[in-house]
Structure 1
Amino acid sequence: MSSPHPLPASARTAGRVFAWVLAAALVALLAASVWIGVRAVAAYGHLMDVQSAAATATDALRDPATAPALVDAIAADTSAARELTSDPVWRAAEQLPWIGPQLSAVSTVAAAADDVATNALTPLSQVASSFSVDQLRPVDGRIDLAPFTTIADAARTSASGLSAARSSVDGLEQQALVGPVRSAVTEVSTLLGTTSEATDALARAMQLLPAMLGQDGARDYLIVFQNNAEWRSLGGIVGAMALVHTDGGSLSMTTQGSSSDFARYDDPVMDLGPEVTAVFGTHPARWIQNVTQVPDFTVAAPLAREMWSREFGVSPDGVIALDPVALSYLLAATGPVALPTGDTLTADNAVSLLLNEVYLRYERPADQDAFFAAAAAAVFDKLAGGAANPTALVEALARAGDERRLLLWSAIPEDQAVLADTTLAGPLPPTDATQLGFGVYLNDGTGSKMDYYVTPETTVAWGECTVDDAGRASGTVTLTLTLTNNAPADAATSLPEYITGGGSFGTPAGTAKTVSYLYLPAGAELVESTRSDGGGFGGAFHDGRQVMSFGASLTPGQSASATVTVRTTVPGAAEAVAWVTPTADAALAPRVGDSCRGS
């Protein structure tokens, strides 16, 4: 029986052609999906091999001779993963909705990993294969400067390649990614960030150290030791000091001094400017003990240099600051150091001996200063004599720098440009695409060494938090600082007057008075601020940051806290961090933070 409305032959032919085309398209799509799926699985396997190799790289690279083989193995996997995720079918599928961004993220990560392995790490690994860390060990007080030049060029190439790879991964729109892919991209981004920063630090160090060690002419560096038993924003008051002379790789300590060598200056030695003066007054520019009250080492260091120049007639080429905790890290590399007093200074006892026991033992400040001078000279002699394990020494310096217990400023503009934007430069905490920066800066108000017994606990927490399609993080962040006086209940009578202050500065013996300065992130809006004692805050601005100050006087066992909440929107910053004054307690991290991953 025929259809009541038969189709013309041409229409039936067109229908069959359409059906075949549709079938062919479906088959092609299925084939493409299978093709992509198979290649994705293979690429995933290679990238997992890369991850496993990277996880063991740190241990393997302790023997630099193994570096080329390790990098070659990683490069073989990254090249395979890149090839598997860059063919025309894969690229075409990247234009599809939903699945496209996932595929694009995988190919971007594979390409970045391959660029790192084949271009960024290869030059450095080749240099490392012929380098021994023992080449950094001083011999008869002199360091051979030739290896630094060899490493410098390779380090710069590696740093540039890693930075480019990091930028390509960070440029991905993570909001379009499904959970597992987003997590993988975040992990790779973090790894590239850490590696990039480490390699950049190496490149800067290799460029800077030869000049500092006198490659192009003699240099003088003022080393100031911050005493964390009496807080200042960057760590503690400047107590003991030493001038170190370098020339052609040789090192010698030429002069030692202490805060007692410096009188109060009637007029500021330098103009602090209206903003710093509004926060701290002129004290940092009139007392050597107060130069580190300004939480910016590019301000504090020139003050110390100028004061040293006035008293000793030498203008140092730079200033280096470190504290007893940093010294304890160095002692882990040198081993125990014998002192003329009969004491043995070790990594375990350095902090307690230098920040507390010396005050219990010696009543006269002159005797205390003599002890500090002897300790500094003994440690320097051990370092200059080549006794330190080079690998352990590099690790100690890196840890101290990361914790902002080691700071460096140069009076030579070219050198200071190399230091800029590093933690060694001791800047104010930045707010940028990677972090939202608070500052928590503590200063003793007792005129004593009671801060050895005070514990600051700092927390940072995102409240409401969103990340938009452009990667901007928005919401509220709350910073809380709690101070606790852990001194003995009978501190007023059981501790020496030099530790308690004896009430000479208006604070009763045994009470610890702290003046805190809370630096809010640049551009943040203050929502709320409270204190546990119901008091208020002082206010000012420093370099685009609102500064909130308050004082707390605590008897033994007493605590006080302050809380501030800000609202902010920043380009991509998912990490809110607070830089806290480094204290005598190495277990208290000088950096705390909280992440926002969006809601």
Structure 2
Amino acid sequence: METDGAPRFERFRDVLSRRQTKVVGAALLVIVVALLGWLGFEAYSAKSELEQARENAQQAKEALSDGRVEEGQRLADSAATHAQAANDATHSLPWSIAAAVPWLGSPFETGRQISGVVLGLASEVLKPSAQVGVAISPDKLFEGSRLNVRLLQENEPALSKISADARRLEAEASAIPEPAYLSVLGRARTEVQAQTAKITSLLENTALAARLAPSMMGADGPRTYFMGFQTNAEARGTGGILGGFGILHFENGKPTVEALGPNTELKGPFTPLDLGPEYAEQYGFANASTDFRNSNLSSHFPYAAQIWKSMWAQQSGINADGAIAIDPVALSYILGAVGPVTLADGEKVTKDNVVELTESIAYQRFPTDQTARKQYLQDIANAVVKKMTGTVESPRQLLEALGKAVGEGRIAAWSASPDEQKLLEETPLGHAVPADSAPYAAVVINNLGGNKMDYYLRREIEYAGDGCSADHRNTTVTVKLKSVAPDAPLPDYVAGANGVIPNIPFTMPSGSMLTSVRLVATKDAKILSAFSNGERIPVFTGTERGHPTFEIQVAIPPRQAGELVFRLSEPTVPGEPRVPIQPLIDSVVPSVQVPECSR
């Protein structure tokens, strides 16, 4: 019986083992299904919470930018709550298990890093930004016409810390890997990177303003600046020819303006200013450092600023602490914030007519009486400046107007203090040709005809290039220029060719533009060829702050258009491609099709 029982026992044990295996398998299956269900729930939760957090973060940024501080606080709190929920979901047990699986876990690891960045953005950047915003809201920053520079100084450390935290989070966002699959997470990664970069840029500019504004606006003692009014109707490298000027004073945040005058009051003779051999070679022929008409041929504003400072010091004996440039389009933005002004004869100057009055109508109203025209323009400048430096009724609108003008390069500033100037050149206010080697294409227009026809100039600019695989790549800069001059006679002062040397046998129709088009290119770029309306042409070469320059001179008859093409070979270098836009009458959005390289 023992021999008979043994097989039955073995069979029983096999059956039991198979049943145990099935039970264990079933249990494991249940666990896997449960984990997958749990993971699905956490994934849905993370996705919805993350989307809500990002939306609230964007809304908080917009509210804080607009000065809606209380709304910004509420939205920042909401963003932090949703971001924490998303972060909890991406650190749950099933998510952690999934993230640990090679390749298959790639999207889960990406999702975890995205949620961490968004949480940091909400809790470490937006929430403290809202708290600082309460302290330095526009309504608190302005006291009548005075900017509360002490308040900015007190909050600068907090703003600098927030800016540093934002930079760290931007670096973390940039390091998030592309998921192996799941394009939805790939898109979320790209959107978070872009959102973080924008918020970081805004906060860095705010922190820089808090560091710069107090000292530049007289917190540590009175400051004096030469303020140049640029006339875009006659193009120059920094915008337009110097049409008039004023002396701007700041004391403890309060501005006052005096000595407003036309450009002809800068009589000279002036001793030339040495700005280095490169500058002398490029602009010495035009007596740029002694003739106000050519003082800003270069697009590098610090050159023009130093020349203006030198001229004013030689003429008045006053050594200014810096220089500021502003144009009529910027004045239109400011008048939109502070309201219109009325001249002595009852004429109203508004945001809608100030550009046309100063850049066009003034020349038609006074076609031959230059003294009367300059007085008229000075009357407008006096009225606008008085309004600007008076009591600020809507600080928020004024800051928005100034921000828009600065963003378009229509207000530029230079400081004689090296430390301040170094900071200024990190902002759009610096209007500087950069010293770095990242991709760069600045198209600089200078009027060669000595007329005011650039009021009718319209531009299109495209910068396109190959990929990043080789050490060098081909790039193309295309510039389209168009005249929208009216089909009606214009005063000779506007439409003539007063800047052309009389002995040169050169004629063109009245109202034509005679224009220098200079491309300031990426460092070490080489010109391969250049074309004007499809025809190959030679170029003048030079150097600007270490950047190669390529110049073409063209004539554009009234109501005609043309196209210039620069074909280049550039080093393949890291950095975002930049196409700064010269502030003229038209507003240009360049087309940039140059891939950003990482090496």
- TM-score (norm. length: structure 1): 0.87
Q: What's the offset of the Cα at 1:411?
A: 0.8
Q: How does 1:142-181 map to 2 (within 5 A)?
A: 142-174=146-178, 178-181=182-185
Match of 1:579, SS state, is coil
**1:231 matched to 2:241:** no
**1:458 matched to 2:461:** yes
CA contact (8 A) 1:430 1:437 kept: no
1:377 is matched with which residue?
A: 382
1:556 is matched with which residue?
A: 558
Q: How does 1:294-373 map to 2 (within 5 A)?
A: 294-362=298-366, 363-373=368-378
After superposition, the C-alpha distances for 1:547-568 in whole angstroms (9 at most, x for unaligned) are 1100001221222221123455
Task: Give the aligned residue type for 2:282.
Answer: V
1:499 is matched with which residue?
A: 494
CA contact (8 A) 1:465 1:473 kept: no
1:129 is matched with which residue?
A: 134
CA contact (8 A) 2:114 2:176 kept: no
Equivalent residue for 1:45, pick from 43, 48, 59: 48
Residues 132 and 423 (structure 1), Cα distance of their counterparts in 2 relative to 1, 3 Å cut:
closer
Taking the aligned partners of 1:22 and 1:238, their CA distance within structure 2 comes to 85
Task: Give the aligned residue type for 1:535.
Answer: I
1:409 is matched with which residue?
A: 414
Residues 28 and 497 (structure 1), Cα distance of their counterparts in 2 relative to 1, 3 Å cut:
same
Taking the aligned partners of 1:591 and 1:398, their CA distance within structure 2 comes to 20
Larger Rg: 2
Task: Give the aligned residue type for 2:539.
Answer: F
2:483 is matched with which residue?
A: 485
CA contact (8 A) 1:579 1:592 kept: no
2:122 is matched with which residue?
A: 117
Taking the aligned partners of 2:474 and 2:499, their CA distance within structure 1 comes to 43
Which shifted more, 240-249 or 58-67? 58-67
CA contact (8 A) 2:524 2:570 kept: yes
Match of 2:159, SS state, is helix
Residues 242 and 45 (structure 1), Cα distance of their counterparts in 2 relative to 1, 3 Å cut:
same
Taking the aligned partners of 1:98 and 1:572, their CA distance within structure 2 comes to 29
1:7 is matched with which residue?
A: none
CA contact (8 A) 1:430 1:436 kept: no
Task: Give the aligned residue type for 1:359.
Answer: Y
1:581 is matched with which residue?
A: 582
CA contact (8 A) 2:449 2:497 kept: no
Q: What's the offset of the Cα at 1:342?
A: 3.1
1:3 is matched with which residue?
A: none
Task: Give the aligned residue type for 2:564.
Answer: A
1:195 is matched with which residue?
A: 199
Match of 1:356, SS state, is helix
Residues 317 and 199 (structure 1), Cα distance of their counterparts in 2 relative to 1, 3 Å cut:
same
Equivalent residue for 2:110, pick from 99, 105, 113: 105
Q: What's the offset of the Cα at 1:364?
A: 2.6
Which shifted more, 253-262 or 191-200? 253-262
CA contact (8 A) 1:581 1:590 kept: no
Q: What's the offset of the Cα at 1:359?
A: 1.0
Task: Give the aligned residue type for 2:319.
Answer: S
2:7 is matched with which residue?
A: none
After superposition, the C-alpha distances for 1:61-96 in whole angstroms (9 at most, x for unaligned) are 643233332221111111121222234654454454
After superposition, the C-alpha distances for 1:283-306 in whole angstroms (9 at most, x for unaligned) are 332322222211112222112211
Q: How does 1:257-268 map to 2 (within 5 A)?
A: 257-263=261-267, 268=272
Taking the aligned partners of 2:242 and 2:297, their CA distance within structure 1 comes to 10
CA contact (8 A) 1:166 1:196 kept: yes
Q: What's the offset of the Cα at 1:137?
A: 3.3
After superposition, the C-alpha distances for 1:212-236 in whole angstroms (9 at most, x for unaligned) are 2211111101111111000011211
Superposition CA RMSD, Å: 3.4
Equivalent residue for 2:442, pick from 439, 443, 467: 439
Taking the aligned partners of 2:176 and 2:572, their CA distance within structure 1 comes to 17
Equivalent residue for 1:54, pick from 54, 57, 81: 57
Residues 246 and 597 (structure 1), Cα distance of their counterparts in 2 relative to 1, 3 Å cut:
closer
Residues 389 and 478 (structure 1), Cα distance of their counterparts in 2 relative to 1, 3 Å cut:
same
Structure 2 portions without partners, runs of 5+: 1-13, 502-506
Match of 1:505, SS state, is coil
After superposition, the C-alpha distances for 1:467-522 in whole angstroms (9 at most, x for unaligned) are x7xxx9986442210112222345xxx21121123546246432210001112223
After superposition, the C-alpha distances for 1:183-217 in whole angstroms (9 at most, x for unaligned) are 22222211111111111111111222222221111
Residues 48 and 349 (structure 1), Cα distance of their counterparts in 2 relative to 1, 3 Å cut:
same
Equivalent residue for 2:547, pick from 545, 548, 561: 545
Q: What's the offset of the Cα at 1:237?
A: 0.9
Structure 1 portions without partners, runs of 5+: 1-10
Taking the aligned partners of 2:289 and 2:146, their CA distance within structure 1 comes to 36
Q: What's the offset of the Cα at 1:130?
A: 4.9
2:516 is matched with which residue?
A: 515
2:394 is matched with which residue?
A: 389
Task: Give the aligned residue type for 1:217.
Answer: G
Taking the aligned partners of 1:440 and 1:424, their CA distance within structure 2 comes to 18
Which shifted more, 553-562 or 149-158? 149-158
1:529 is matched with which residue?
A: 530
Taking the aligned partners of 2:326 and 2:404, their CA distance within structure 1 comes to 12
Taking the aligned partners of 2:113 and 2:529, their CA distance within structure 1 comes to 42
Residues 436 and 174 (structure 1), Cα distance of their counterparts in 2 relative to 1, 3 Å cut:
farther
Task: Give the aligned residue type for 1:384.
Answer: T
Residues 303 and 266 (structure 1), Cα distance of their counterparts in 2 relative to 1, 3 Å cut:
closer
Equivalent residue for 2:88, pick from 74, 80, 83: 83
Task: Give the aligned residue type for 1:589.
Answer: V
CA contact (8 A) 1:460 1:577 kept: no
Taking the aligned partners of 1:597 and 1:214, their CA distance within structure 2 comes to 41
Task: Give the aligned residue type for 1:124.
Answer: S
CA contact (8 A) 1:123 1:157 kept: no
Taking the aligned partners of 1:482 and 1:516, their CA distance within structure 2 comes to 11
CA contact (8 A) 1:429 1:439 kept: no
